[in-house]
Chain A
Amino acid sequence: MTCPRCGAQMNHQAEKLVQPVTADEAAAASTALDGVLELVFACPACGLIDSRRETGETQTSA
């Protein structure tokens, strides 16, 4: 993932299992994990944290 703030290459630092909240999230949830994986990235240049769901949906920064 490229940092949306400074353009540097971000580091894939974590994969967090998230329980589905909405119906769409529940539909996209992995039955094996009983949830959705959120892939979390950190920018080594500016420190920004960003993430996207394993389904491909991008979670925009605050």
Chain B
Amino acid sequence: MTDRPLFVPVLLGTPRQGRMSEHAARVVWEEVEKRPGVETELLDVAALPIRVDDAGEGAKDPAFSEKMNRADALILVTPEYNHGYAGLLKHVLDTNLKEYIHKAAGIVGVSAGVFGGARAIENLIPVLRELGLVTIFWDVNFTTVRRRFDEDGNLVDESFLAIDKFLDELLWMAKTLRYGRENVTIGGSS
């Protein structure tokens, strides 16, 4: 089995000004960085030069696609806007396909209320499935997010975040799926 480090980027999924999800994404990214054998990068949909008047191959950003190609797992940080995820996150995800297939995906939900983005997460799961990503059964929910961080964006309440459990499961899935992608042939007996 290959000894290449896992690559697990964190994608901040909203471009809105004043987004609290930025703080959440940074906290998760810092936790991923602590894991041995894992490389990560914090990506921001607001910083991607992806045109919004085209789709698929026509809208691909080569640098973003290269990162998705290299990724073994993807962490999506999504706020909940009117019970859904941000529109730009969907558009960005839709610019790739083969890059995602049989790779692990974990979702971090962020909301001002007590559900911690749970409804946005539930809406996002069938989209990820169609993109070929494999979702895990742990989420991270930043509930009542404005109470979680101080004015400088420092996390002041870590209760019930379960980031360690989330990352344990995501990295297990990432390793397992990498083995499958590289060694198990579809329709074969190996």
Known: A14-B102, A21-B56. A42 touches B181 (CB 8 A): yes
Cβ-defined partner of B97 (8 Å) among A15, A18, A44: A18
Known: A21-B56, A62-B68, A62-B69. A51 touches B98 (CB 8 A): yes
Q: What 1/0 flags go to A26-50 for Cβ under 8 Å of B?
A: 0000000000001010111111111
Q: Would you call A55 an interface residue if the criterion is a C-beta within 8 Å of the partner chain's C-beta atoms?
A: no
Q: Would you call B99 an interface residue if the criterion is a C-beta within 8 Å of the partner chain's C-beta atoms?
A: yes
Known: A14-B186, A21-B56. A47 touches B178 (CB 8 A): yes
Residues of chain B lying within 8 A (CB to CB) of residue A48: 69
- The minimal Cβ–Cβ distance linking B21 to chain A, given in whole angstroms, is 26
Q: Would you call B16 an interface residue if the criterion is a C-beta within 8 Å of the partner chain's C-beta atoms?
A: no
Residues of chain B lying within 8 A (CB to CB) of residue A2: none
Complex Cα spacing A42 to B4, Å: 14
Residues of chain B lying within 8 A (CB to CB) of residue A62: 60, 62, 64-66, 68-69, 96, 99
Q: Would you call B2 an interface residue if the criterion is a C-beta within 8 Å of the partner chain's C-beta atoms?
A: yes
Cβ-defined partner of B184 (8 Å) among A11, A16, A18, A45: A11
- The minimal Cβ–Cβ distance linking A21 to chain B, given in whole angstroms, is 6
Question: Is chain A's binding surface mostly helix, strand, loop or mixed?
Answer: strand
Name which residue of chain A comes closest to B65, CB basis.
A62
Residues of chain B lying within 8 A (CB to CB) of residue A13: 101-102, 180-182, 184-186
Complex Cα spacing A48 to B4, Å: 12
Name which residue of chain B comes closest to A49, CB basis.
B69
Residues of chain B lying within 8 A (CB to CB) of residue A18: 97
- The minimal Cβ–Cβ distance linking A43 to chain B, given in whole angstroms, is 7
Complex Cα spacing A61 to B60, Å: 11
- The minimal Cβ–Cβ distance linking B104 to chain A, given in whole angstroms, is 14
Q: Which of A42, A43, A45, A51 is packed against the most chain B CB atoms within 10 Å?
A: A42
Residues of chain B lying within 8 A (CB to CB) of residue A44: 2, 182-183
Q: Which of B96, B97, B182 is packed against the most chain A CB atoms within 10 Å?
A: B182
Q: What are 8 inter-chain pairs, A to B, with CB distance below 8 A?
A: A12-B185, A13-B101, A13-B102, A14-B101, A40-B102, A42-B102, A62-B62, A62-B69
Known A-B contacts: A44-B182, A46-B4. Give 8 more (CB < 8 A).
A13-B185, A18-B97, A40-B132, A44-B183, A47-B178, A49-B99, A50-B98, A62-B65
